[in-house]
Amino acid sequence: MRKWLKDNRGVLVFIFCLGLFRTAIADWNPVPTGSMRPTILEGDVVLVNRLAYDLKVPFTDISLARIGDPRRGDIVTFSSPKDGTRLIKRLVALPGDVVELRDNRLFINQQPAEYSSVSTVREPRGADGHVDATRATEAFDHSSRSVQFLPVPNARRNFGPIVVPAGEYFMMGDNRDDSEDSRYIGSVPRNLLIGRAGHILVSADIKRAWQPRFERTISPLQ
């Protein structure tokens, strides 16, 4: 055993340092679902800045120091308060905000988001099916993003109003009718935030035998 450790110590140190880097500084995460379409597609690998909000003890959720404050519009990776699953969503409301959804229109502190550039696109649905989806540019608080609405039953298009608790954040997927977000799992405590996603590193179409999508490589997220 000692000989094996000695012979492989370089590899072991590299693995340890890589793990330390990914849990404390930056990480890259493949996205398996379409809850953030059209911003993030299934098969995208996103780069996550783990130092965007807190410096944490490696391999834990313990914060050593606050570095920055989450902002409305950030794309955030976090551990689900429901079951610990790692998720990626859009931060739409801060602690103390009053958040409400009326027929899929977002209201923050009684102020409505503005919607423009509305269009209809064909979106994949199910194994081989497609549906007509509505896309729009949603603008609020000096930031904007593309959002999508699907003609699916039982989507939660009306919600609240609720007040986001102190120290917690309200998350939603950009694919509003196909996202298990804070409407279902509740707001997210700060200690469960992992980091802010800023870029797509690489991308592959998981429905086309992992065909590379080179046009999405090293592209910024908005």
Give the active site residues. 35, 89
Q: Cα-atom radius of gyration of the chain, to the nearest Å?
A: 19
Residue 169 near residue 76, CB atoms below 8 Å: yes
- Residue 29 vs residues 22, 46, 141, 153, 163: alpha-carbon distances, Å: 10, 5, 28, 30, 31
What number of other Cβ atoms are within 10 A of residue 88's Cβ? Answer: 23
Burial of 178 (0-12, 13-18, 19+ CB in 10 A): buried
> What proportions of the chain, in percent to the nearest 5, are helix, strand and coil?
15, 45, 40
